[in-house]
A and B are shown apart, each in its own frame.
Chain A
Amino acid sequence: MSRKLIASLAIAGVGSLALTACAGGGGTKSTSAGTGPGGVTTLKLVVADYGTGPSNTSSKYWQSIITAFEAQNPKIKVNVTAINWNDFDNQVQTMIQNHQYPDITEGDYFANYAQEKLLYSADQVLSNPDNLLPVFKNQGSYDGVQYGMPWTTSSRTLFYNKKLFAEAGITTPPTTWAQVQTDATKIKATGNVGYGLPLGPEEAQAEALLWFLGNGGGYQNASGQYDINSTQNVQTLDFLKSFVASGVTEPNPASKNRTDLWQQFASGTIGMINGSPALIPIINSGGKLTSSDWASVQIPGKNGPLNTTLGVCDNVAAFNANGHQAAIKAFLDFAYQDKYQLQFDKEYDLLPATTSATQALSSDPIFGPFLKALPQSVQYPSTTSWANTKTQIQQTIGTALTGNPKSVLDQIQQTATKSQ
């Protein structure tokens, strides 16, 4: 009997394989990048990966800058790590929790780092901080000092499929919510999805904000206080609830992510979807829509097109833990040259983050419209509680479509104001 038990126990070990593709992790302290032999400083650069695949991974782009930079600065070495976008926040946060500080990050940045006094301010690590786009200054500031330096930006417009519009007998793109509803219904009748609404956990905070703005709402009120459960926002979600219930969107928007819906738009089966310039290469690689099959216009609001849009910027942050201020400054001055800004935007279909690079690109036929919207853009909040708030919006705002919008927004508001 007990011999059999031992035998079974032995095979039981297989069990530890059955479902354990998972384990928790910490991190090991990599040796602090101090000044190494021969007075060489090694900088640790951690960037988000904007690539769509192996061929255009961001580490390639950065490596080309680094190679040129190191040739000019033999005393400084830069090691770059590209992290998948979906893991970026989590990973950088884990690094900091583990006290393995990077020197420079490029991607999401949170005011917490500034609050914890982990960062150099922009004027400490840039020779010309005023060249950064002024509209994003506030978003990267904490206590009136700018720490988050915009690196790349994007703004949102409504993409629509001209083919499907023609098929449904629609001649002009919508400018109000009511028209969106009518047009989506007509497209739905042709057997396609009228409107793609990504309110799943990936990027719901962006889609939700675009709708809130259309009704004069948003995440913060005019004086910068969180106002997530405002009457306007509740109304907006009430509208979306009925909009979804009428069946003109894809099924179950609360579980749909932007990646999947953008791919579906590119395959020609969605009438309208909010997008950024990053959607353009996806449309092109989908091979179903030619450049004359789609267009993009200002996002419709409740009573007319939005005169603002969501402007998103990804920030560079410089950490002071390793004390490499001079080396960081040398590298950032080098990397912020217009040619590298433009190279990045061409590579990933994003917009520049410096005034000089923006001027160089303003007459571009494709990017021009997006750039025009940038100066009036609204940004995400920049308080220390935004990180947690964002996580909760992503996870829960979709549940308002089948639940009670007011109580969902109340919950989020509570999170936003709890740690302020």
Chain B
Amino acid sequence: MSTNVPRANPLRRFTPLLWVGPAAALIIGVVIWPVVVMATTSTLNISPDGFNLGSAGLGNYRELFQEIALPGVLMRTAVWVVGVVVVTMVVSLLLAQLFNQAFPGRRVARWALIAPWGASVMMTSLIFRWALNAQNGVVNVILHDLGLVNLGTDQADWLGRPVAAFVWMMAVAVFVSLPFSTYAILAGLQTMDSAVYEAARVDGASPWRIYRSITLPLLRPALIVATLINVINVFNSFPIIWEMTRGGPGYSTSTTTTFMFILKQSYIGESAALSVINFAIVVIVALVFLKVAKWKDQVD
């Protein structure tokens, strides 16, 4: 540092680092660096015991694309994400509307809504696995008492049939995604100005018309963000499928996240390759989604 420069200047340049540096360091070290490690791992030949046996080039990717199970896994992932997110958003809109009304005991009822978020997803998945047991699961006991299902039969064995198991697991994913989406939309509803509604009502607009022309447009930012976050979370969801079916039989209830985990036990490089692809999918989907949402902005 040369002496004829005022001392405050060079120091001042580093002030932002003092305030923002630790946060940036933590994010880069814990969140961004693993992505780099993952990308390099996907081009290495790694033995099951984690020994680096040299470069594999794109060999891991080739191996991955030769996996017979992969097309089915990708298809199921698409169904899983689209299905869970669409149902979650529609139900959340209804729930938010319902819980935005004033009624006695609303506070308690809203508390109940938070339950799936307070308990860990792993526990919730295990509860559902237990409740769907073909012999004595609560769900089957209730259905049995209603005369719909016989205990211990194929019909009661929800998690044993791939399609039924997948539908149930999607239902659980919706269940654990609802609290967040509902609250995000509720927050949006609360910021609305009641004067606008009064004016619309005075003009004689029907409730549905008001909802379509005023509420939904105003909710757009909340909906965009909630949808995007849900897409990312649902795509990366692991514990539900892992705890309920382990992705089996075969890979018939696996999505890319569980498939990646199963691969990781034996083929680290291939698993890293799938992680990279997963990651690329998330980033692309998010960017496309934001672009579409913005593009609509300009049209409106």
Contact = CB atoms under 8 A, between A and B. Distances in A.
Q: Do chains A and B touch in the complex (CB under 8 A)?
A: yes
A14 B47 CA distance: 38
Contacts of B34: 24
B161 A399 contact: no
A395 B232 contact: no
A200 B179 CA distance: 33
A14 B180 contact: yes
B50 A4 contact: no
Size range of the chain A interface in the assembly:
35 or more
Contacts of B73: none
Contacts of B245: 255
Contacts of B232: 15
Interface string A107-147: 00000110010100000000000000000000000000000
Nearest to A255: B160
Given A20-B233, A21-B239, A97-B49, A395 B177 contact: no
A71 interface: no
A201 B249 CA distance: 7
B97 interface: no
Q: Chain A at the B interface: mostly helix, strand, loop or mixed?
A: helix
A401 to B, nearest CB: 8
A391 to B, nearest CB: 6
Contact of A11 (B153, B183, B236): B183
Contacts of A1: 221
Given A254-B249, A395-B262, A99 B50 contact: yes
Given A12-B229, A97-B268, A251-B154, A19 B221 contact: no
Contact of B262 (A17, A96, A269, A391): A391
Interface string A270-283: 00000000000000
Contacts of B165: 255
A19 B250 contact: no
Interface in B271-285: none
Contacts, number: 169
A232 interface: no
A200 B156 CA distance: 17
Interface in A1-55: 1, 4-5, 7-9, 11-12, 14-22, 24
A256 to B, nearest CB: 7
Given A4-B188, A90-B265, A411-B68, A15 B230 contact: yes
A395 B250 contact: yes
B159 interface: yes
Contacts of A267: 135
Given A21-B121, A96-B50, A98-B50, A399 B249 contact: yes
A252 B157 contact: yes
Contacts of B268: 97
Interface string B153-188: 110110111000100000001001101110110011
B252 interface: yes
A391 B259 CA distance: 13
A8 B181 CA distance: 10
A221 interface: no
A81 interface: no
A182 interface: no
B265 A255 contact: no
A19 B226 contact: no
Contact of B265 (A5, A14, A93, A269): A93
Given A5-B221, A251-B157, A398-B248, A21 B117 contact: no
B64 interface: no
A388 B248 contact: no
A251 B134 contact: yes
Interface string A234-267: 0000000000000000111011100010001001
A84 interface: no
A117 to B, nearest CB: 11
Max count, chain A CB within 10 A of own CB: residue among B173, B226, B228, B250:
B250
Nearest to A98: B50
- Please give me the 4 A-B residue pairs with the lowest Cβ-Cβ distance, nearest first: A97-B50, A252-B160, A15-B229, A254-B249
28 contacts: A4-B221, A5-B225, A7-B221, A8-B221, A8-B222, A9-B225, A11-B180, A11-B183, A14-B180, A16-B229, A17-B117, A17-B180, A18-B180, A19-B176, A20-B121, A21-B122, A22-B236, A97-B50, A98-B50, A112-B47, A255-B157, A255-B249, A260-B133, A388-B267, A391-B266, A392-B266, A399-B249, A403-B250
Given A15-B233, A19-B234, A22-B121, 10 more contacts: A4-B191, A8-B226, A15-B184, A17-B117, A18-B177, A22-B238, A93-B265, A255-B165, A269-B135, A398-B248
